[in-house]
Structure 1
């Protein structure tokens, strides 16, 4: 049996200069404590090790670290211009009706007023209606319960983004 060659992105992540890897990890998750922990775990023998390190780092984030991570995410329905990751992840809102987009905007504002941060959900594969329904349901949560849901959603987002990074090395500027 022959060994499977490492994914090009994982090879890059293991060998690129720390500053380049830190920048790529920041695009995955804006929490510096998370990227520092993932960076410190290099080299990774397999993508599963990278994902496990990410999950472990997410579990250790403080409330302030979670705030930093959430600050890196735009509101649902309003991906940042020029940010292909958030546009791809929020694709379910792209074809939404104007009524649904308006409702999502109102829910985003009410959620942010209640919790002090953006409504965060792993939107990959969800329809606009599913995101709206989740926002409606979650706005009734206690701040403590919502904080742990946000941690779980960030963990899912990081897994998806890290899998993409491990599969393909970042393009040089």
Structure 2
């Protein structure tokens, strides 16, 4: 056979095996849930109706990572009104049960100063923070962010809300609840 001559093909070509990552049962349930149920799930992650609608309207998601990416993208587009709506439903993160009363008082005072300055609840994502460091991390976050000007703090707050939504949605997808 010459170098330029191709062997006779039968007209049949092998079709590569389809590789599909197994889908997560909770993602499948989310993808097929009625719209109102999907909105409720999403609003438990971030209380912004616009965000929840945008994420729910783009279902189905092929992977949990795709859903989390859509969540992030929708959160980047939150308006000032959307942020206010989301912040109205937020509260300080829960402290570990064995936290001293004095620590609660210090946190309450720092949070009151924050709310007086910015007019909304302090939000911070504590994903990956060890339990014994939560109080210090929250107090340090409030103290350092009190020095922000209102526009700078709006940007930081929006990013923290985005991270919180991602964390909560990730917990939902792993079956850990919201």
TM over 0.5: yes
**In the alignment, does 2:9 pair up with 1:6?**
no
Which runs of 5 or more residues in structure 1 are unaligned?
77-89
Residue number among 28, 32, 36 corresponding to 2:45 in the alignment? 28
Q: Which runs of 4+ in 1 moved over 4 A?
A: none
Q: Normalising by structure 2, what TM-score? A: 0.81
Query: Are the equivalent residues in 2 in contact too, given 1:93–1:101 (CA < 8 A)?
Result: no
Query: Are the equivalent residues in 2 in contact too, given 1:7–1:168 (CA < 8 A)?
Result: no
Separation in 2, partners of 1:26, 1:134: 25
Which runs of 5 or more residues in structure 2 are unaligned?
1-16
Q: Partner of 1:95: helix, strand, or coil?
A: coil
Q: Normalising by structure 1, what TM-score? A: 0.84
Residue number among 135, 138, 142 corresponding to 2:142 in the alignment? 135
- The aligned residue for residue 102 of structure 2 is 99
Q: Which has the higher contact order (CA 8 A, sep 6+)?
A: 1
Post-superposition offset of 1:93: 4.1
Q: Cα deviation per residue 1:17-55 (whole Å; 9 max; x = unaligned)?
A: 111111111111100111011011100000111111111
RMSD: 1.8
Q: Cα deviation per residue 1:2-26 (whole Å; 9 max; x = unaligned)?
A: 6332111110110011111111111
Post-superposition offset of 1:169: 9.3
Greater per-residue helix proportion: 1
- The aligned residue for residue 11 of structure 2 is none
Distance 1:37 1:169, change over 3 A: farther
